[in-house]
Amino acid sequence: MKIAIAGFGLEGESSYRYWSVDPKNEITIVDENHPTADIPQSAFKIIGEGAFSQLQDFDIVVRTAGLAPRKIKTNGKIWSATNEFFEKCPAKIIGVTGSKGKGTTASLIASILKEAGKKVWLLGNIGKPALDVLNEIKSNDIVVYELSSFQLWDIKKSPHIAVILFIEREHQDVHVNIDEYISAKANITNFQSKEDILIYNIHNNYAQDISSKSNARLIGYVDKNTAHIEGGSFYYSGQKICSVSSLKIMGDFNKDNACAAIDAVWSITNDIEAIEKGISAFHGLPHRLEFIRELNGVKYYDDSIATTPGSAIAALRSFDSPKVIILGGSSKGSDFTELGQELAGHDVKALIIGDEAKAIANACINNDFLNFEIIKYTTMLNLVDYARSIAKPDSVILLSPASASFGLFKNYVDRGEQFDIAVRAL
């Protein structure tokens, strides 16, 4: 079979390993940019501008997640690692999507199920590449799969249990418009039947709209009939589970994420002790409101994973104290209006960097928030040192950019790590 691997990053390398096992497959690596990874000597290659339009004679074109299907020109089948995994996986899959909270919610689900004695695989945008472990997964295992819009774009099968978290305008640098983005998200339930389960955020219009077209059994969160918070404790309907203090990660949005996780596991386990242990055992993801240190009464938090305005808004709401927030980066086509409105309600100074600086500043001005500076970025060390110099006593310095990281940094991990290094160097 003639197979093209379209896009040769981490996922492309995993796809190559998977399909190259069969010696009858003839594999070609295709990329419009020269891959940073070494191309295997046994593979053919089509590299350079227009490469994705030269795929007419392939049986299958396996696209990497961020590559839009419309950019691939072929008379063969357009496929993906996620499609292959969903088609071949013998285990039950819990899929989690949304614009924010996917990693946290997926991790909470996995943590609870592990405490309940299940063999759990945490895959997708988090954990190991799915195809690398496909042959190890057994029918009694459970897969928790974090799903971006890119992975859901052309998915042909939905998970048995689907979770839709808060959705906002995002990835408009890749999707044609918001409708295409929402349509991709909707694929998480489009192929579900009435035997399947859809858990969705009842307070989010996009999630509600998707649920209204689903054939699955619907569970809205936060709802008093299922997982919710009452009197400082998590409940499932009328059954008390544990104190909210068992949740070690901060922010009201994470309490909602925990409720979604409880709803997701309830049909598999309602072991109260396991749920409490699973919630308590998870201490958060790197670069997600991660406490770095306290110095001279000022606390430093790395929220580099906050690449949307909604994520930065949630971070601002997590602290009552005065704040200095570092915003900005490269564009994802976001609307910063609500972020400007939120900033106006806080005792906060905003330091704005990157390509999105003008758009964020305009949103601030339009909402009468003028306590900001556009900073010409030099180094993270200089930026953090300046933030320290203007921070009020007993305040928080928060990296929560509301933007992508490219241009100034390799990715959000690199941005967070540079922030961490700079803070520890103070």
Peptide bond into 222 cis (omega under 30): yes
- Give mean pLDDT, residues 266-284: 97
- Per the DSSP assignment, residues forming a β-bridge with 230 are 233
Q: Domains in the chain, start-ordered, CATH in brackets? A: 2-80 (3.40.50.720), 89-281 (3.40.1190.10), 290-424 (3.90.190.20)
Q: What is the pLDDT of residues 35-60, one digit of tens each?
A: 888 999 999 999 999 999 999 999 99
CA 17 from chain centre, in angstroms, equals: 25
pLDDT bucket at 170, cuts 50 / 70 / 90: confident
Q: How many residues does the chain have?
A: 426
pLDDT of residue 37: 85
d(CA 159, CA 145) in angstroms, rounded, equals: 9
φ, ψ of residue 410 in degrees (nearest 5): -65, -40
- Give mean pLDDT, residues 255-284: 97
Q: What is the pLDDT of residues 123-150, one digit of tens each?
A: 998 877 999 999 999 999 999 999 999 9
Cα of first residue to Cα of last residue in the chain, in angstroms, is 57
The count of C-alpha atoms lying within 13 angstroms of the C-alpha of 134, restricted to the half-sphere facing its C-beta, is 19
Exposed/middle/buried for residue 167 (C-beta within 10 Å: 0-12, 13-18, 19+): buried
Q: Are strands 239-243 and 233-236 parallel, antiparallel or unpaired?
A: antiparallel
d(CA 182, CA 326) in angstroms, rounded, equals: 29
**Other C-beta atoms lying within 10 Å of the C-beta of residue 386:** 16
Q: Which residue has the tokens 């808060």?
A: 166
Q: What is the pLDDT of residues 407-423, one digit of tens each?
A: 899 999 999 999 999 99
pLDDT of residue 172: 86
pLDDT bucket at 174, cuts 50 / 70 / 90: confident
Token pair, residue 236, equals: 């499932």
Three-state secondary structure call for residue 385: helix
Q: What is the pLDDT of residues 221-244, one digit of tens each?
A: 999 999 999 999 999 999 999 999
pLDDT bucket at 111, cuts 50 / 70 / 90: very high
Q: Which of 286, 285, 328 is nearest to 308 (CA)?
A: 328
pLDDT of residue 164: 98
pLDDT of residue 41: 92
Token pair, residue 220, equals: 């809205």
d(CA 129, CA 151) in angstroms, rounded, equals: 12
d(CA 48, CA 125) in angstroms, rounded, equals: 27
Q: What is the pLDDT of residues 63-103, one digit of tens each?
A: 999 999 999 999 999 999 999 999 999 999 999 999 989 99
d(CA 91, CA 118) in angstroms, rounded, equals: 12
Amino acid at the residue 139: S
d(CA 307, CA 412) in angstroms, rounded, equals: 8
d(CA 131, CA 135) in angstroms, rounded, equals: 8
pLDDT bucket at 384, cuts 50 / 70 / 90: very high
Q: What is the pLDDT of residues 179-207, one digit of tens each?
A: 999 999 999 999 999 999 999 999 999 99
- List alpha helices for 36-148, DSSP H: 81-88, 102-115, 130-133
Considering the entire predicted model, what is its pTM?
Answer: 0.91
Q: Looking at residue 128, what DSSP letter applies? A: B
d(CA 226, CA 256) in angstroms, rounded, equals: 12
d(CA 246, CA 159) in angstroms, rounded, equals: 29
pLDDT of residue 36: 81
pLDDT of residue 171: 86
pLDDT of residue 149: 96
- List alpha helices for 92-155, DSSP H: 102-115, 130-133, 149-152
